[in-house]
Amino acid sequence: MHATLCDLITDLVQNSFEANATEIKLNVEETEQNLNVVIADNGKGMSAETLEKAKDPFYSDGLKHRHRKVGLGLPFLFQTSEMTGGTATIESQEGVGTTVTFSLDPAHVDLPMFGNFPTAAVTLMTYGFKGNLTIEHSKDGKSYSVSREELIEVLGDLNDLESLTLLKQFIEGNEDEING
């Protein structure tokens, strides 16, 4: 199991990177009643058969992680959802992309901690992939959106120390606004 929900979200977005997506959207909406997350990409997608297999923790296509005999990201999502009374779905079409959606009760006693979203967002934005990632985060009616392409346009290389520092400050400032 992932230590935090941010770890789970990061793992699921990394699946999009590894599926050669060029456009990924992460939407996180927090309310008192629900934590809603949607991760949509235009990656290689999966056939119906592969999608069913991906829900099995003992399945791995053997391509992403040649040394691993299990794939745990999606099974952990479904386990977390089931044990907390939430919902989780995955839709995928080969050659089109994949959308993972889940909704969890933030007050459920068995729900893992949310975690450090600014760190997760910075990690995802600086991950070495060719494409755009848009992150939208809203909480109780306040929100912000940030695009990797826009950040690169303004900051340049996101892994440069100065750019990384500014990126972190930008994300943390936006998080303070919606949490304040």
Confidence (pLDDT) at 146: 97
Q: What pLDDT, in 10s, does the model give residues 127-148?
A: 988 899 999 999 999 999 999 9
Residue 95 DSSP symbol: T
- Is 176 in a helix, a strand, or coil? helix
Partners of residue 36 on adjacent β-strands:
29, 103
Question: What are the φ and ψ backbone dihedral angles of 31, each rounded to 5 degrees?
Answer: -130, 175
pLDDT, tens only, 32-52 = 999 999 999 999 999 988 888
| Mean pLDDT of each 10-residue bin along the chain, 180 residues long | 87 92 98 96 92 71 49 79 94 96 95 95 94 96 96 94 96 95
Q: What is the rounded average pLDDT for all residues in the chain?
A: 90
This prediction's pTM? 0.90
Contacts of 116 (CB under 8 A, 6+ apart): 4, 6
Residues 4-26, buried b or exposed e (16+ Cβ, 10 A)? bbbbbbbebbbbbbebebeebbb
CB neighbours of 14 closer than 8 A, spacing ≥ 6? Answer: 73, 124, 127
Whether the CB-CB separation of 125 and 93 falls below 8 Å is answered with: no
Q: State the pLDDT at residue 2.
A: 72
